[in-house]
Structure formats: C-alpha cells, structure tokens
Amino acid sequence: MSEDRRRILEMLKQGKISVAEAEELLDATRTAPEVEVPAPKAKAKYLRVTVNDKDDKVDVRIPLQLVRSGVKLGAFIPKDARGKISEALSEKGVDFDLTNLDPKAVEELIEGLADMSVSVEGDGESVRVYCE
Amino acid sequence: MIWPPSVLRIRVMETRGKGIRLWLPIFLLWPLIGLMCLFAPIVMAVCPGMRRRADVKAVPTSGLLLLILFCRLRGFRVDVRSGSDQVHISFC
C-alpha cells in the first residue's frame, strides 16, 4: 500500500473526511501518473575509432577533453598556415576548412557523438566511430 | 584536479615475439613542462613573429592552455596491429 492511500484511510478512520471524499482521493491517487525519473546519462569520456580489416586492426582512443583543448589551441595556428592546411586537406579529398573552425560547433559535434555511433561494415572490413 | 599523464607506454612487437616494451616515466618531466608552460606566454609576447601570427587575446592564456592540453593526454591510446606486428602507444 502506498503512503498516500494509507494517509487517506487514516484520515477516514479519524473522521476527518467522509467516505465520498476518501473515494475521490483514492481515485485521484490511482489515476495520478507516475513520473519516471530518467537515469542519469553517463558522460562520454573518449572518442573511439576502430578499423578492422582481415589482417589489420587499428584502435584509437582519444580523450574528448583533449579534443576540446586542442580546438582552443587552434588560435595559435597562424592564419596563413591554416589556409595552407585547408588547401592540403582539400587536395587529399578532405573538404575541411580550418580557417572557419568554430569551437562551439566542435562542442556540439562532440555532444552529438555521445548519443550516436557510426558503423560501416563490408567485405570483412569494418569501421566504427563512437564515444564511450 | 586534472593530473597529467605519468607514464608513456610504447610497445612495438614484431613477428616471433621480438619487440620493444618501454615505460617512459613522464612524471620526471612534469617540472620541465610546467616551466615551459609558464614561460610560453612570455616567449609569445616577446617574440614579434609569434605575436603577429597568433591570436593576441590568446597569448596570456597560452601557457595554461598548453598545460591543460598536456594533462588531457592521459587516456590517449593508439593500437595498430598488422598480422603479427603490433604498435601500441598510450599515456597512463
């Protein structure tokens, strides 16, 4: 028996409320939705990248705080060097503009990664990116 | 309190069990790295080339940022295996 029901029945026994009032209160306790408290989500600490081939295996674990701190240190990269890095990346097929690197966007990306994982599999090879 | 990594583990294993296992005590370098981080903003402020190139607002906090970056290295791990060869690097 719940604490509310016990209290209502005691009030009825003591004559503080009538039978009809007790019935109403008991109905209210039955229909009251139970609020589910969500379990606290464990905060992700590491970014994991695993690549599995038939013979080769790569496993990298990067602390997310290291990524955050690294982005802040991006301010020390000279602007002309940032442009050169972006050009070199685009030549390699990576379309990533380092000159417009926004720490807030990176923070959002990290938070987004905490809730999802990317997994690509095919021909005995698999790539997985996730946070743990 | 963020503690910097105290040991760098390097393991390079080749075929037939041959390889190198190293435990480098980084904690011996803590004072040196602390001094470097302390003097980083001074060097950046004095050196005209660095001052011109870097973000001026970030210069006073550069030492602290470097120290934080070093501390955040704890837990970083790279493990690469190819056949029977293996390379493992981790900061503990």
| pLDDT-wise least confident of A31-40, A60-69, A75-84, B56-65 | A31-40
Among A61, A69, A72, most B C-beta atoms within 10 A, so best to mutate, is A69
Q: pTM to 2 decimals? A: 0.66
CB within 8 Å: A75 and B54:
yes
CB pairs under 8 A between A and B: 59
Q: Are residues A82 and A117 in the same domain?
A: yes
The pLDDT, as a whole number, for residue A38 is 59
Q: Are residues A57 and A83 in the same domain?
A: yes
Q: Are residues A102 and A57 in the same domain?
A: yes
Sign of torsion, CA A51 B75 A86 A103? positive
Among residues B78, B87, B81, the alpha carbon closest in space to that of A55 is found at B81
Q: Are residues A8 and A67 in the same domain?
A: no
Q: Are residues A123 and A68 in the same domain?
A: yes
What is the band of A109 on the pLDDT scale with cuts at 50, 70, 90?
Answer: confident
What is the band of A93 on the pLDDT scale with cuts at 50, 70, 90?
Answer: confident
Q: Are residues A32 and A54 in the same domain?
A: no
Q: Are residues A68 and A125 in the same domain?
A: yes
Quick: pLDDT tens for B3-62. Answer: 899 999 999 988 777 889 999 999 999 999 888 888 877 877 777 665 555 555 666 677
Which B residues, 59 through 78, put their C-beta within 8 Å of a C-beta on chain A? 62, 65-66, 68-69, 72-78
Q: Are residues A24 and A66 in the same domain?
A: no
Question: Could you list the residue range(s) of the whole structural domain that residue A65 is in?
Answer: 46-131
Among residues A63, A58, A60, A105, the alpha carbon closest in space to that of B85 is found at A58
Q: Are residues A83 and A28 in the same domain?
A: no
With vertex at residue A69, the alpha carbon angle to CA A85 and CA B30, rounded to the nearest 5 degrees, is 110
**CA B66 – CA B34 distance, rounded (Å):** 9
- Nearest chain A residue to B67 by CA distance is A69
Residue A61 sits at the chain B interface (C-beta within 8 Å): yes
CB A113 within 8 A of CB A44: yes
The domain tally of chain A equals 2
Q: Where are the alpha helices (DSSP H) in A1-132?
A: 3-13, 19-31, 64-72, 79-91, 103-114
Q: Is pLDDT of B83 > 70? A: yes
What is the band of B78 on the pLDDT scale with cuts at 50, 70, 90?
Answer: very high
Residue A3 sits at the chain B interface (C-beta within 8 Å): no
**CA A130 – CA B60 distance, rounded (Å):** 35
User: Rounded to whole angstroms, what are the CA distances from A90 to A71, A93, A95, A109?
Assistant: 20, 5, 5, 21
Q: Are residues A73 and A120 in the same domain?
A: yes
| pLDDT-wise least confident of A11-15, A112-116, A120-124, B36-40 | A112-116
